[in-house]
């Protein structure tokens, strides 16, 4: 290792929303920061890029940015579908906002750089040296850290380094997505199909130049997701032969209980922080990135970097609690035992819609939703859970 190490308080690996949030907050807290990514931004990232109300709050809190109409399409028009059949069309109680990750992520990274984070794009880590608190880059540079933050996505090389694998192959989700050229006006219809696949759903989101059509589910289940994607595109009036269909892993509820080790912290998708019901990960990415920076700052200021993980775990307790509740409630959404009642509620229930939009807005928690569902219904669900095929029950309960 001939290179002189460059010292930083915090080194962030991965410059998506989680990494940019960590870098920006760490700078605000007065820490010296390096942020690195294998890509050069603007870079593409497969994503529906529906930024929820919770996402708006996180983006405002961390970056001071609002979802302006230059970069976001606004619409309240929603359809709930069931294997191609429209169950309900209605107007949401507030605007939903859709964007492109290629723009969003670039803007967030520029905010972190403008705040003073040292920018290393187009580089990969070739060695994580925990003992010396150093990362070696393929450019030859060596960066030394007080706290290392891994924001390197669902296939996180840092998680693989710490735990031998980035995710549990039995529980990881997988999604296909295509950008179908079809410029959309403000207030164009979005739709979600809740029955196009088992244990997942399909989405058709309006964007300025395209419609983003995709579906996702648990990868290890016995279903041909690609074939279902082609079928779904047909239902949505798109030709699967005319566009490129891409696939990517999505954690879908299987988060890492202990996200790191001592002064090494995992955030966002690298820590599996995606809602099992909504598939939302952007808000959690920004929230966890900022919380990791806060924990790093506290630990470094106390002169005890190894305490960063303990502090971080306390700070993200509220995120883990939400992910736990979503994991529990998805049994109601996806189990065959409740197919009939769920379909009926989607078509008719104002309460269910209100709960769905409150959740997306970040105005309620899964804990509150759970309370809204009567004890009687929950009892019924739990009773039926025990009768499920053991394979699926084991897989989903963890
Ligand atoms: C198909 C699909 C649709 C989705 N739709 C939505 C949605 O509509 N709304 C929503 O809220 N969430 C959605 N999600 C989830 C959301 O995309 C993620 O939760 C979010 O991207 C997490 O951000 P992140 O910063 O943790 O990771 P990422 O955005 O994945 O960023 C990780 C970064 O790490 C970099 N990296 C990886 N390996 C290395 C390496 N070795 N060295 C250096 N850098 C590296 C990558 O280049 C990347 O820039 C969707 C996910 C998928 C797959």
pLDDT tens digits, 330-343: 877 777 777 888 88
Q: What is the pLDDT of residue 171?
A: 94
How remote is the CA of residue 269 from the centroid of ligand 1, in Å? Answer: 6
Q: Which of 132, 149, 213 is nearest to 19 (CA)?
A: 149
Q: What angle do CA 325, 331, 337 make, to 5 degrees?
A: 155
How remote is the CA of residue 360 from the centroid of ligand 1, in Å? Answer: 19
Identify the residue whose C-alpha is closest to ligand 1 atom 31.
Answer: 16
Q: What is the pLDDT of residue 361?
A: 76
How remote is the CA of residue 16 from the centroid of ligand 1, in Å? Answer: 6
The band of 380, judged by pLDDT with boundaries at 50, 70 and 90, is: low
Identify the residue whose C-alpha is closest to ligand 1 atom 10.
Answer: 280
Q: What is the pLDDT of residue 2?
A: 65
Q: What is the pLDDT of residue 280?
A: 94
Identify the residue whose C-alpha is closest to ligand 1 atom 4.
Answer: 47
Q: Is the CB of 175 under 6 A from ligand 1?
A: yes
Average pLDDT of every residue of the chain? 91
d(CA 363, CA 372): 14
Ligand 1 atom index nearest CA of 203: 8
Chain centroid, CA 14 distance in Å: 14
Q: Which of 186, 153, 156, 160 is nearest to 46 (CA)?
A: 153
CB burial of residue 181 (10 Å; 0-12, 13-18, 19+):
exposed
Please determine, for residue 64, whether its predicted confidence score (pLDDT) is greater than 90: yes
Q: What is the mean pLDDT of residues 157-170?
A: 97
In a mutational test of the pocket of ligand 1, which residue from 62, 207, 279 has the highest number of ligand atoms less than 8 Å from its CB?
279
Identify the residue whose C-alpha is closest to ligand 1 atom 41.
Answer: 124
Please determine, for residue 363, whether its predicted confidence score (pLDDT) is greater than 90: no
- How crowded is the C-beta side of 190, counted as CA atoms within 13 Å? 27
- Can you list the domains of the chain with their CATH numbers? 5-48+102-167+253-315 (3.50.50.60), 67-98+173-250 (3.30.9), 324-397 (no CATH)
How remote is the CA of residue 285 from the centroid of ligand 1, in Å? Answer: 9
Please determine, for residue 381, whether its predicted confidence score (pLDDT) is greater than 90: no
Chain centroid, CA 72 distance in Å: 18
Identify the residue whose C-alpha is closest to ligand 1 atom 18.
Answer: 281
d(CA 354, CA 349): 9
Q: What is the mean pLDDT of residues 246-273?
A: 97
d(CA 358, CA 387): 32
Task: Quote the pTM value.
Answer: 0.92
Please determine, for residue 110, whether its predicted confidence score (pLDDT) is greater than 50: yes
How remote is the CA of residue 213 from the centroid of ligand 1, in Å? Answer: 17
d(CA 358, CA 93): 9
How remote is the CA of residue 207 from the centroid of ligand 1, in Å? Answer: 19
Q: Is the CB of 207 under 6 A from ligand 1?
A: no
Give Cβ neighbours of residue 39 (< 8 Å, ≥ 6 apart): 15, 121, 122
Cβ atoms of 216 and 279 closer than 8 Å: yes
How remote is the CA of residue 282 from the centroid of ligand 1, in Å? Answer: 8
Q: Is the CB of 15 under 6 A from ligand 1?
A: yes
Q: Is the CB of 45 under 6 A from ligand 1?
A: yes
Please determine, for residue 398, whether its predicted confidence score (pLDDT) is greater than 70: no
Please determine, for residue 391, whether its predicted confidence score (pLDDT) is greater than 50: no
Ligand 1 atom index nearest CA of 282: 11
Q: Is the CB of 47 under 6 A from ligand 1?
A: yes
Please determine, for residue 376, whether its predicted confidence score (pLDDT) is greater than 50: no
């Amino acid at each position: 290792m001939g290179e002189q190490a460059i010292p930083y308080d915090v080194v962030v690996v991965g410059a998506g929303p989680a990494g940019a949030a960590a870098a920006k907050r760490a700078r605000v807290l007065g820490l010296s920061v390096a942020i690195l990514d294998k890509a050069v931004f603007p870079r593409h990232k497969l994503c529906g890029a529906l930024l929820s109300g919770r996402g708006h709050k996180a983006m405002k809190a961390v970056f001071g940015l609002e979802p302006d109409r230059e970069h976001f399409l606004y619409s309240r028009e929603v359809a709930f579908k069931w294997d191609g059949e429209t169950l309900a069309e209605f107007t949401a109680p507030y605007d939903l906002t859709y964007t492109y990750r290629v723009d969003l992520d670039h803007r967030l990274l520029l905010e972190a750089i403008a705040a003073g984070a040292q920018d290393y794009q187009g580089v990969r880590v070739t060695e994580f040296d925990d003992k010396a608190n150093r990362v070696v880059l393929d450019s030859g540079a060596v960066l030394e850290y007080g706290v290392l933050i891994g924001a390197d996505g669902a296939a996180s090389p840092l998680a693989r380094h710490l735990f031998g694998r980035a995710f549990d192959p039995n529980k990881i989700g997988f999604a296909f997505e295509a950008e179908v050229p079809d410029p959309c006006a403000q207030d164009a219809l979005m739709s979600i199909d809740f029955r196009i696949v088992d244990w997942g759903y399909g989405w058709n989101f309006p964007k300025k130049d395209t419609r983003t059509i995709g579906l996702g589910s648990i990868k290890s289940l016995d279903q041909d997701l690609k074939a279902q994607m082609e079928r779904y595109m047909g239902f949505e009036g798109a030709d699967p032969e005319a566009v490129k269909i891409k696939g990517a892993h999505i954690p879908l509820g299987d988060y890492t209980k202990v996200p790191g080790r001592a002064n090494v912290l995992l955030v966002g998708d690298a820590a599996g922080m995606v809602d099992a019901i909504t598939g939302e990960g952007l808000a959690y990415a920004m929230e966890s990135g900022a919380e990791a920076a806060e924990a790093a700052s506290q630990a470094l200021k106390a002169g005890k970097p190894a305490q960063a993980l303990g502090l971080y775990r306390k700070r993200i307790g509220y995120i883990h609690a939400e992910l736990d509740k979503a994991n529990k409630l998805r049994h109601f959404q996806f189990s065959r035992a409740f197919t009939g009642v769920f379909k009926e509620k989607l078509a008719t229930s104002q309460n269910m819609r209100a709960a769905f939009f409150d959740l997306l807005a970040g105005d309620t928690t899964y804990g509150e939703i759970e309370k809204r569902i009567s004890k009687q219904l929950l009892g019924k669900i739990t009773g039926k859970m025990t009768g499920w095929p053991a394979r699926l029950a084991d897989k989903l309960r963890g």
